[in-house]
Amino acid sequence: MKPEKREIVLASVLGLLAGPCYILAGPERFLIWYAVVLGGGIFSTAHWLRDLKPSRSAWFTWLAWPVVMLTGAAVSLLVCGIGQKFLERW
């Protein structure tokens, strides 16, 4: 897999972990838990960065990274929030 694709997949996975972190940690500890998840995910894959060569695709990857992660986090939080509300009523 190309390093650019790995970075986008990592951003997607880290974004999608926001919802489960919110459910497990609760609203008061969510930011701390999610910061640990993000830090662990980023630092554990830092060795991938040496595979990225300066190019246009690497530049676009770095521009897309926060957008992909934030979109995944928004979707994950929305789905988990709706699911949690549904389960509370049921």
Question: Average pLDDT in the 1-18 region?
Answer: 89
Q: What was the pLDDT predicted at 89?
A: 85
Could you give phi then psi for residue 32, rounded to 5 degrees? -65, -45
Q: What was the pLDDT predicted at 59?
A: 83
Mind spelling out the 3-state secondary structure of 1-48? CCHHHHHHHHHHHHHHCHHHHHHHHCCCCHHHHHHHHHHHHHHHCHHH
Q: What is the pLDDT of residues 29-78, one digit of tens each?
A: 999 999 999 988 888 777 777 777 788 888 888 889 889 999 999 999 99
Report the 10 Å Cβ neighbour count for 3: 16
Question: Average pLDDT in the 75-90 region?
Answer: 90
Cα torsion 69, 26, 84, 14 to 10°: value is: 20
pTM of the predicted protein model: 0.82
- Asked if pLDDT for residue 15 goes beyond 90, the answer is yes
